[in-house]
Structure formats: C-alpha cells, structure tokens
Amino acid sequence: MSSNGSFPIRADPSMEVLPPDSPIRQIYPEDLFENGSYAPLLHGRVRYWIIGPEDGMKACFSPDLASVVLIHGVSTPSVSWKAIGPYLAAKGFRVLIYDLFGKGYSEAPHMPSDATLFVTQLALLMQYVRWEAAHIVGFSMGGGVAAAFTASLPHLVAGKTLLIASAGLIETGPTPTSVSSKVALLQYQDLPGYKRSLASCFTDGPIRGLQSTFDKLDKLLVGPENKDLQVLVIHGTDDEIVPYEEAHKIKARIPEAEVITVEGAGHDLVLRDAHWRIVGDAIVRFLEN
C-alpha cells in the first residue's frame, strides 16, 4: 500500500486505503478483473489489470495487433469496463485496463489533470508492462485521452484508435456538480484527491479544446510499421452528457473515420445491458478487420 510520500511527486491516496467493506469497494472491488497489480509510476501509484490470453494473439495476429488498452471517463473508473473488458478478452484479445490518476485505485498527484498527465501515465504504464504498442480505446473523457495519446505518441499505437461517446471537442457540457453515478458520488465523498482531480479535469483536462489534437489524427502514420491510423467513432443518439453531434465534429476533422450510431443509447452505453454488447461487437469487428 502507498505511503503517500512526496517523492517523486506528492499524491493523495486512492480507494486502496479505504476499508474493504466500504460501500464503494463493494461496488468496485479491487479484484473486479483478474491479474490486477500496481505500478509505481512517476506521478503516483496506478492500479491496472491485464486480462485475456497470455500470448496476446489470435491465430493470425501478432502480439501488438491483439493488444488493447481501455481508457475510462472523467468520473467513473475502470468499473466502466466490467462488461466489455472480459468480453474482449474472451474474443482472444490481450486487454490492459487501468484507473486514470485521481480515479478509483490510482493515486491523485498534486498537479493538473490535463492531457499531458494522462498521456504520460499511459506511456509509462505501457513501458512498465512491456507493451511496445497497442490499439487504444477511449470512452468519454478517455476518448480525449486516446486522441491525445495517439497524436502525441503514434509509435505506441498498433494501428487503430476507438472513440466511444468521446469528449475532446465539446464546447459546453457537464460540470463536476452534475456527476451523479453512485461510484462517482462515493469517490467524491470519500477521497479528497478525487474531488480535486475531478475539478481539474473540467478546467484543465482533455474534455474540450482538443481541436488541433483531433486534426493530427487525419492521415496519421502509427506503430512500428508506420501504417495509416484507422479511427472508429461510436456514439449513442440519446447521449445527454456528450451530445451525439460530437461524433460528427470528430468525423469532420478525421474524414476517414468510421462512425457507428447506437440508436437510443445514452452516455452509459458501455455499461447498459441494452447497448454494451453492440459496442463490444463493433470493437471486435473493427479490430479484426
């Protein structure tokens, strides 16, 4: 367990320090996924899981082409992937799931929760687990992180970036006070670092203002082989947090991107019983082709 020291950077504790019987850990237990561990990174201690076949490949895949990173959104940590993560693993993908800094079981460093912090976090985590490249999947604010990561470090992207209900270009949207999921509310109540990090995400984070970042994804060459980046955008028509129109804004900046519309889906489409399988199947199809 973290000592919450000041070297190399001061960080507030995560859910790791809460009692195992605390309400939030009943909803989001530390062992929600198999093969969990902690990575001591530059900006704090990070919880991650790697699930799926150990060889990281299906019959025709190289390890890189079957490696997938899942990035959650602004308020709800990796419990967002409790359905889709294992589903991708069952389809033969090697899946890296982790909590962003300031969320869930990852510490909250005393620095802005901006795109640079989250891009650096993923790059160092991939180095820590010795992944040379992976496909990048981002949900909500995680879409902004995925776009920034791909634009900044294209050599670490195996070929495909997927943006689900993605923020990044939104001009007006939710505020920290509008966050209402039970997991978010319990983190807000129990973790001072979460509260501070969440506020910073809305002022400094990759939720809006990433126009130049998305522009860089058009005709971008990625991965060890310098091949054309492929982008998939998935968005629900009834999203009240990140409006459906945001998908078309992304498409306008990345004309080659494929857009999949999920009719009747809200912002929770990665968790909702009626929609997560649609999203999961779309991810599998896109990665396999």
**Least confident segment among 30-44, 55-69, 153-167, 208-222:** 55-69
The domain of 93 spans: 11-288
Q: What is the CATH number of the domain that holds 128?
A: 3.40.50.1820
Please compute the mean of the pLDDT values over residues 44-71 and round it to a whole number: 81
Nearest CA to 64 among 163, 192, 187, 160? 160
- Name the average pLDDT for the chain: 92
How much of the chain exceeds pLDDT 70, in percent? 92
What's the pLDDT at 59?
Answer: 40
Domain count, the chain: 1
With respect to residue 173, please indicate whether it lies within any of the assigned structural domains. Answer: yes
- The reported pTM is 0.94
Name all contacts of 33-42 with Cβ < 8 Å and 24+ positions apart: 33/78, 33/82, 33/85, 33/86, 33/97, 38/105, 39/124, 39/125, 39/128, 39/129, 41/121, 41/124, 41/125, 41/128, 42/8, 42/9, 42/120, 42/124
Nearest one of 265, 167, 165 to 213, comparing CA atoms: 167
The answer on pLDDT for 2 being more than 50 is no
Query: Tens of pLDDT along 234-273?
Result: 999 999 999 999 999 999 999 999 999 999 999 999 999 9
Q: If you average pLDDT over residues 44-54, what whole number do you get?
A: 96
In-domain check, residue 1:
no
Residue at 2 is within a domain: no
Residue 5, in any domain of the structure: no
What pLDDT was estimated at residue 214?
98
Q: Is residue 6 part of a domain?
A: no
**pLDDT above 50 (res 283):** yes
Residue 169 has pLDDT above 80, yes or no: yes
Does residue 256 belong to any structural domain of this protein? Answer: yes
Give residue 51's pLDDT.
98
Q: Is residue 4 part of a domain?
A: no
ω into 224 cis (within 30 of 0): no
Q: How confident is the model over 92-113, as a mean pLDDT?
A: 97
Q: Are 119 and 142 in contact (CB under 8 A)?
A: no
Predicted confidence (pLDDT) at residue 127 exceeds the cutoff of 60: yes
